[in-house]
Amino acid sequence: MNRLAGLVQDIRTGNVEKVLTQYSDVLLAFFITSIVGMMLIPLPTHLLDVLLTTNIFAATTILFVSIYIQNATKIASFPTILLITTLFRLGLNVSTTRLILLQANAGEVVRAFGSFVAGGNIVVGIVIFLILTIIQFVVITKGAERVAEVAARFTLDALPGKQMSIDADFRAGLFDVHEARRRRNALQRESQLYGAMDGAMKFVKGDAIAGIIITLINLIGGFAIGILQRGMAAGQAAQTYSILTIGDGLVSQLPALLISVAAGIVVTRVASEEAETHLGQDIGSQVLAQPKALAIVSVLLIALGLVPGLPTIPFFLLGAISGGISYGLFYTRRREEQAAAEPSEESEDDLSTAPRVGPAVPIMVQVSESLTPHIDRAGEGGKALGRLIPELQSSLYYEHGVLIPRIMVRGRQPIGDHAFAILLKEVPVYRGTLPP
């Protein structure tokens, strides 16, 4: 009761984000239960119109979310979303089929899609429905399914190597245990995502096949019911049930097509080098990075505009736009190169007066004046040390996977009699003395 009261209070105060996040489990359970219920219980046409509109809204939202994500792991729940949306569309298909066959009326949305989108022509509606189905089933779904299959295979094959790389970097001290745990979790999420996407694409493929079968059932069943039970003429029955069936097919296939495109975008998305970039930025930056290609396209379009029979204005217009973009990119790059090649007076003064700082030595051993003869390369101690250091580096690398950088040894250092010091990045970390 307390949770229900809190939900009512959040709705009254308009805290939508808290309602959707804190009570998401309740909303999801209610949504799935409603899907099962509408498969069994006849729905009124007004409620069905709302649900069909919700289906289009959900598909459009998922499509644009897939465009704005940085990489596929940012929407790791996408395979589950595919399953739920597919179940929702099938539930709507059952509800619309029931109303079409029982009442010859499936609401305003279905009738509008059948009359307006198809132009009131049954043949045109059937052709549009078949085109959408072929695009979804043969082109998008088939390609996305293959990409998901290959991505899942490559991700699983590369999993041991990536785990070893994380372990090696952790042993080398490149990051702490929390970062190592975060990277392992991200790697696990990635492998699970592509493995789930490989199977989830079967839902989309099966949904397209189910849409074709349901459309045929509506056509044949509606024609038979109209003639045998309602006493309609053959032409009237064909006109009535064909418009409703085509409208049902279009209003179902359009969201399915959007979901298929979203799935294709997710599985073909390659993570950008920059963290906060979306698909539009990646495409724009990569396409506009080649101004010579745009210049060639501009010349080609203008040449096509001169061909007799082809419309001149569209080709000339697009050629001028492409040429203008290419010239602007060339001009901008030339200005940037000139600015980089001509340093300012302030930068020259800074370079002339700035101290020359070399890179820090990764590992250094300093010994005092009294210990210097023991590291002399001409002596036995220096030769033994020259053999010991490479052996130590190789042993650490083969046993622990840690690559030790070059160790520098310096003698005659003012650090005390019979003393030595170990420095990391030229910072002392240990000092000691040896007996005379």
CATH number at residue 384: 3.40.30.60
Pairing of strands 427-433, 407-410: unpaired
Q: pLDDT for 311-367, tens place per residue?
A: 899 999 999 999 999 888 888 888 877 776 655 444 444 434 444 445 677 888 888
Q: Tokens standing for 321?
A: 């736009």
Q: What's the CA gap between 363 and 345, in Å, rounded?
A: 38
**Residue 291 contacts by C-beta under 8 Å, 6 or more apart in sequence?**
325, 326, 329, 330, 333
The reply to whether 310 falls in a domain is yes
Same domain, 279 and 315: no
Query: What is the rounded distance in angstroms from the CA atom of residue 260 to the CA atom of residue 353?
Result: 61
What Cα–Cα distance (Å) separates residue 393 from each residue in 164, 365, 402, 403, 404? 19, 15, 9, 7, 6
| Residues 196 and 429 sit within 8 Å (Cβ to Cβ) | no
Q: What is the pLDDT of residues 363-383, one digit of tens each?
A: 888 888 888 888 887 777 778
Q: How many CB atoms lie within 10 A of CB 364?
A: 20
Give yes or no: residues 321 and 391 share one domain.
no
334 and 415 assigned to the same domain: no
Shared-domain flag, residues 170 and 83: yes
Residues 414, 270, single domain; the answer is no
336 and 267 assigned to the same domain: no
Inside any domain, residue 71: yes
Domain that holds residue 57: 42-286
Residue 107 near residue 99, CB atoms below 8 Å: yes
Residues 248 and 320 in one domain: no
Q: Which residues contact 114 (CB under 8 A, 6 or more apart)?
A: 125, 242, 243, 244, 245, 246, 247, 248, 250
Is 189 in the same domain as 139?
Answer: yes
Are 156 and 268 in a shared domain? yes
Structure tokens at 290: 């080649």
* Percent of all residues in the chain with a pLDDT value above 90, rounded to a whole number: 9
Q: What is the pLDDT of residues 63-119, one digit of tens each?
A: 999 888 887 778 888 888 888 988 898 899 888 888 888 888 888 888 888 877 767
Whether residue 314 sits in one domain with residue 267: no
Do residues 155 and 112 both lie within one domain? yes
Residues 166 and 261 in one domain: yes
Q: Say if pTM beats, i.e. exceeds, 0.75.
A: no
Round to whole Å and give the CA distance between 118 and 80: 33
Nearest to 313 by CA among 295, 321, 327: 321
Domain annotation covers residue 85: yes
Residue 16 lies in a domain: no
Domain count, the chain: 3
Q: Which of 257, 286, 315 is the last residue of a domain?
A: 286
- Give a yes or no: residue 349 inside a domain: no
Which residue, among 162, 252, 149, 253, has the nearest Cα to 196 in the 3D structure? 149
User: Which string of DSSP letters, residue by residue, matches 99-128?
Assistant: HHHHHS---HHHHHIIIIITTT-HHHHHHH
In the prediction, which pLDDT does 350 show?
43
Residue 298 lies in a domain: yes
Residues present in the chain in total = 436
- What pLDDT score was predicted for residue 347? 43
Residues 6+ apart with CB under 8 A from 267: 72, 144, 147, 148, 151, 194, 197, 201
